[in-house]
């Protein structure tokens, strides 16, 4: 009888461990989903915020302060420390430039930016010669050749993707469904 009681205790403890693991997976998935959703919503809000930020643009070789919503591909924007990057583009010049890209990549450390091209097929975070709308210059300065504006930017594409309904179940739903079987 004692052995039967020990077997029951062992089974109960295994079930408790499994339940704890399931609970941990659900909590981690919920936290990850919340974080991604929060960052995506923050990006959408920045795109839809009235009174777009201004940008210093070189026009006819003279720096001019313009509303960022007036930027077009081909404009050259001057970047300085503390500036919010108004459009996606390729760096023409970079002097100790570091950019906070956490809204796009999730990386907590600022990315070092140079004018060197990234290898073909590189991930977004590996494009050291590109800067993206909605990110912030944390150090240095540079010149940006605008390649995309508005909803054509990486942030705009993410906003469009988030607003598009998907039939695919989220991670938590898949895990719960898998464990229920």
User: What is the value of pTM for the model shown?
Assistant: 0.58
- What does the pLDDT look like over 162-177, one tens digit per residue? 776 666 666 766 777 6
Per-domain residue ranges for the chain? 2-48+161-180, 54-150
Alpha carbons 179 and 181: distance in angstroms, whole number: 5
Topology of the domain covering 54-150? 2.70.150
Beta bridge partners of 63: 58
- What does the pLDDT look like over 144-156, one tens digit per residue? 999 988 787 877 7
């Amino acid at each position: 009888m004692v052995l039967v009681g020990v077997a029951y205790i062992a089974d109960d403890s295994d079930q408790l461990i499994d339940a704890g693991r399931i609970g941990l997976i659900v909590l981690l998935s919920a936290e990850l989903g919340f974080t991604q959703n929060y960052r995506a919503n923050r990006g959408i809000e920045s795109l839809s915020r009235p009174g777009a930020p201004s940008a210093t643009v070189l026009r006819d070789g003279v720096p001019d302060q313009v509303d960022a919503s007036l930027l077009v591909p081909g404009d050259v924007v001057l970047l300085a420390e503390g500036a919010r990057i108004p459009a996606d583009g390729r760096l023409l010049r970079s002097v100790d430039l570091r950019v906070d890209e956490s809204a796009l990549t999730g990386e907590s450390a600022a990315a070092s930016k140079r004018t060197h091209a990234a290898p073909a097929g590189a991930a977004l975070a590996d494009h050291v010669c590109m800067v993206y709308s909605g990110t912030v210059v944390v150090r240095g300065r540079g010149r940006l050749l605008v390649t995309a504006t508005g909803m054509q930017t990486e942030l705009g594409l993410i906003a469009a993707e988030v607003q598009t309904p998907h039939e695919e179940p989220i991670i938590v739903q898949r895990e719960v469904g898998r464990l229920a079987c």
